[in-house]
Amino acid sequence: MLDVLDKSKKILEEYALCDRCLGRQFSNLATGTTNKERGASIKLVLAMNSTLEKEQINIELLQNLSKTGAIFAKKTLKKIGCIPKETQKCYLCEGKLDELEDLVQKIVKAINEYEFESFLIGNVLDNSLYIKENKIKDKFGLHGTEYLKQEFNREIGKKINEITKKKTDFNTPEIIIECNPFSSKILEIKIRSVYIYGRYNKYVRTIPQTHWDCRNCKGKGCEKCNFTGKNYAESVEELMAKPVLELTKGEKAVLHGSGREDIDVRMLGSGRPFVLEVKKPKIRNIDLKKLEEQINKEANNKIKVNNLRISSKKEVIKLKTKSQQSTKIYKAIVEFENLVSDETIKKIEENLKDKTLNQKTPTRVKHRRADIIRKKRVYEVRCKRIDEKHVEAIITCEGGTYVKELISGDEGRTEPSFTEIAENKAECVELDVLEIKEQ
C-alpha cells in the first residue's frame, strides 16, 4: 500500500488526474472496486496522511489533490487559511469520463432503428493519448494498468446496457458502435449480417446464379443494357433478394453458393447448398417459413428454395471449402459430329471410370480466371443412346469439374475427354445438375 501511495503522490505532483484515471493506474489492485472508487480512496488516504500532524501539514500535497477536484482537500486547505487551487482538467481523459451522457444518447438514438440483442462499443482515440498513458506508466514503473480506451468502452457499454437492456458481446455482437468520446461523435455503426442457409433449385436455362454488371458500362447503365446496369435481367440471387430485403429491411443480399452452375444449366434434385447474406438488416428475427413461401411464390417456378435456417459467416467459409470436396452428379445430352457406335459408348464409360482429369482453365472462362491445370476426378459415366448421334450421359465427378469440357475436350485443354476417347468430336448440348453430395 505504501508503494501505491508513494507512486500516486509522485504522479499527482506532475499530473492532475481525476479519480477514474488515477484509479486506473492500479486497476489490478482491489478487484471488485471501480477505478473511480479506487482513485478516490487513494486520494483520501493521501489527504489524511498529509494532516496527521498539525505542525507538519503537507500543503503542497493538498494543493496537488485540490487540482484534481478532491473536495476534502479543498475543505482542509480553506480550514487552515489557504486558498485551494482551482480544479484542472484531467491530464488524460479531460473530464470526458464523467461527460458521456450526450454521446450515449446519440448512440441509443442511432441504434434504435435496428433489431438486436447484443452490441459492442469501440472507440478511436488520438495516438497522442497512448503516448501520454505510456509515459506515465514507464516513468513511475506501473504494472497492470488499464488503458483509457478500455474504460471508455466499458462505461459507455454499461450506460447503453442500462437503457436498452441489451448485452455486450465481445465475440459476435450484432451491432458494433465506433465512436470518439472526446468529440462526442459516432464514427461508424457496423451491423452484423444475417446469414440464411438453404438449398435452391433452378428450373430455367436463362438466368445466372448471381447479379452480373453490364460488360459495356460496368453497371452504370447504358443503351446496351437498357440502362439497367445488368447483363441479365434477373438472377437466382436477385430472385431471393427481393423478398428477404422486404422482410429484413436490409441494404443488400449476397448469394454464396456451394459452387455454381452455368446460365444454361438447370439445378435439379435436392438443390444446391447456399447461404444468403443480408447486409445491414434492421430486422433480424424473421419467419423463415414465410420467407421460403414468398421467394417461391415470386420466383414463378424459375427457382425454388427449401430447408431455410439461420446460418453464420463460418458456414459461408465452410461452404466454399466443401464445394471442391463434394461429389456432383450431372445429366448431359451429348451430340457427336459423326455416328457413334455402341462399342464407342462402352469405351467412353470404361475409360472414364475412376479417372483423373487434367483440366486447363476452359477457353470460355480464361479471360476472367487464372490459366492453370486442375486435377479432377471422374468416378463414373453411364451412357444411354438417344439416337445415332446423341447420347444421354449420367456423370458422377468431383466438385469443380468442368463437365462441358470433359465432353468436348476444349481443343485438348481437358484430357481425357469424350472427344478424345471416341475420336469423334463431341459437344454438350444440354446439361443438368442432378445432385450435390456434400462430404
Q: Is the pLDDT of residue 1 over 60?
A: no
Domain boundaries, the chain: 2-79, 96-190, 194-323, 327-437
Domains 194-323 and 327-437 share a fold: yes
Q: Is the pLDDT of residue 143 over 70?
A: yes
Q: Which region among 52-56, 128-132, 317-321, 400-404 has the lowest average model confidence (pLDDT)?
A: 52-56
- Segment 59-110, tens digit of pLDDT: 899 989 999 998 998 998 898 889 999 999 999 999 999 999 999 999 999 9
Predicted pLDDT of residue 49: 85
**Residues 120-138: what's their mean pLDDT?**
95
**Residues 327-350: what's their mean pLDDT?**
97
Domain range 96-190, CATH class: alpha beta
Predicted pLDDT of residue 86: 94
Greater confidence (224 vs 125) lies with 125
Q: Is the pLDDT of residue 225 over 80?
A: no
**Residues 364-385: what's their mean pLDDT?**
92
What is the average pLDDT value for the chain, to the nearest integer?
A: 93
Predicted pLDDT of residue 412: 95
Q: How far apart are CA 271 and CA 386, in angstroms?
A: 26
**Residues 286-300: what's their mean pLDDT?**
97
**Residue 15 annotated as lining a ligand binding site:** no
Record the pTM.
Answer: 0.86
Predicted pLDDT of residue 217: 80
Predicted pLDDT of residue 324: 79
Predicted pLDDT of residue 219: 75
- Segment 179-218, tens digit of pLDDT: 999 999 999 999 999 999 999 999 999 999 998 877 788 7
Active site residues: 262
**Residue 91 annotated as lining a ligand binding site:** no
Say whether domain 194-323 belongs to CATH 3.30.70.2510: yes
Q: Which region among 38-42, 291-295, 324-328 has the lowest average model confidence (pLDDT)?
A: 324-328
Cis peptide before 362 (omega within 30 of 0): no
Q: Which region among 134-138, 166-170, 216-220 has the lowest average model confidence (pLDDT)?
A: 216-220
Predicted pLDDT of residue 215: 78
Which one is the CATH code of 327-437: 3.90.1150.10, 3.30.420.10, 3.40.462.10, 3.30.70.3190? Answer: 3.30.70.3190
**Residues 12-23: what's their mean pLDDT?**
96
